[in-house]
Amino acid sequence: MIYLKACPKCSGDVELANTPDGRILQCLQCAFTVDSPEAARRAAAEKAKKTAAA
């Protein structure tokens, strides 16, 4: 399944992939990988800091 503009790092398209370890989300543009909700929150917070600083 592909989620459009869902990458917390670059707002790119994200693919949901099933791996032997479980499900992961991987961005098709920047290759950012999210393997937990915590990782997604950290990336979104970093992106918000960069946007606010600009």
Q: Which residue has the tokens 């707002």?
A: 11
pLDDT at 29: 95
Chain-centroid distance of CA 51 in Å reads: 16
pLDDT at 30: 93
pLDDT at 54: 66
> Which has the closest alpha carbon to 15: 25, 23, 30?
25
What pLDDT, in 10s, does the model give residues 1-54?
898 998 888 889 999 888 787 788 899 999 988 777 777 778 778 878 877 876
pTM for this entry? 0.65
